[in-house]
Structure 1
């Protein structure tokens, strides 16, 4: 999402890489689940998130998109996000004890929090958001340990490539008033990257890159 804010408004003003120490450790969030409530449509999921949830829950990606997750619009892109339910608008995966029922396969957004990403023209850094987490007296932890993500190098490349691709798609939206073209492109992205299953016996990132190459060729042809 494009936001016209300064780094100082949303963070401690520092840029971190994966080997830096950052004051993000919430001590297992004991007694607190505030960040799992009232998030609206902000917990947007990328293709890896949906694939990981699909494999971990034993449900098809189609099942997730048609019954558990919700779709919303982010800068013109129609993308899935975590559903918030009930009077407290709790995450659909928050259990009765106020704990995450999918913690081992939680989305990247959840792994980051209270960190965020700060994108530049060359790549991205991590930032510590200062207005988001209700937990006080957080302790320092290395960024890569906090992210708790296997094959972090490939994951970061995937995050960057996906971010750049969505920006390219948005440029198409901004340059046209053809509603049918916008709809078809959104449906293509959903179908190609989210609804079509990824083979379990093949590396996710390899399959993603194949799909990305096809999608980029399509964009280069003017859709």
Structure 2
């Protein structure tokens, strides 16, 4: 699911599998002639925590952000919809300016990973689990810099562990074996609930606290107070709830 740009010609993804201790040289700064070029002709898939961070940065609701800044795409492999960040008429990220990214502290996960991509092996293969790969665009001069990283160090420097932890249950939803194997096809209602619980945090809060939700689901008082006060906890709660709705893996069973 890692994709940040599509350039004509040579595939920028190097066919070398990397692990957390693999090393690479890279640095990005304003002094490079290619600065901001990777923010053009770009495709950015958004995760739920991306949406939460960016909509708060902009001071708007999740529904407003999704309406103004994104479009929906369906991935056949998961049978669930995803949100792509809209780009400008010339294909650039809407948040890039002369000085670089205008929302840098809250930039999406794929931007944090770049120039590394994350891959997931299917459990049916001899090996399974996550692996990494380098994305080397022909225009990028960052690889000519002296700064050396391991993949682990890069992840730490970009706060990727926090994003992955918060998105953990959502990743498990979209990579669920039942979906990938074609054993189930989410109906329209299931897809609407998936969109609500995955990305539209503000509307999901209303759904929980302004409907009969808490009468229908057995949620303990400690959790109720946490999701009332903490938006990140609300997002994590939504993903756990979705696993029950979609796959019957109930953390919060119906009463």
* TM-score, with structure 2 as normaliser: 0.67
Deviation at 1:154, TM superposition (A): 4.5
Cα separation, 1, equivalents of 2:140 and 2:88: 23
Residue equivalent to 2:170? 162
Deviation at 1:33, TM superposition (A): 2.0
1:211 matches 2:238: yes
1:36 matches 2:39: yes
Distance 1:200 1:109, change over 3 A: farther
Residue equivalent to 2:68? 67
Distance 1:82 1:145, change over 3 A: farther
Structure number with larger C-alpha Rg: 2
Q: What CA RMSD, in Å, does the superposition of the two structures yield over aligned residues?
A: 3.3
Residue equivalent to 2:24? 22
Q: Which has the higher contact order (CA 8 A, sep 6+)?
A: 1
Structure 2, unmatched stretches of 5+, are 3-10, 206-226, 250-255
Residue deviations 1:20-45 (CA, integer Å, cap 9, x gap): 54223234574422221112xx3100
1:171 matches 2:174: no
1:77 matches 2:77: no
Cα separation, 2, equivalents of 1:77 and 1:170: 12
Is the CA contact (8 Å cut-off) linking 1:29 and 1:135 kept in structure 2? Answer: no
Counterparts of 1:1-223 in structure 2, within 5 Å, are 1=1, 10-11=13-14, 13-17=16-20, 20-27=22-29, 30-31=32-33, 32-39=35-42, 42-75=43-76, 76-86=79-89, 88-95=90-97, 97=98, 99-120=100-121, 121=123, 123-130=129-136, 132=137, 134-136=139-141, 137-139=144-146, 140-147=148-155, 148-150=157-159, 153-168=161-176, 171=179, 174-175=182-183, 181-197=186-202, 201-202=229-230, 204=232, 206-221=233-248
Deviation at 1:202, TM superposition (A): 1.8
Distance 1:196 1:159, change over 3 A: closer
Cα separation, 1, equivalents of 2:132 and 2:181: 28
* TM-score, with structure 1 as normaliser: 0.75
Residue equivalent to 2:252? none
Structure 1 counterpart SS, 2:46: coil
Structure 1, unmatched stretches of 5+, are 3-7
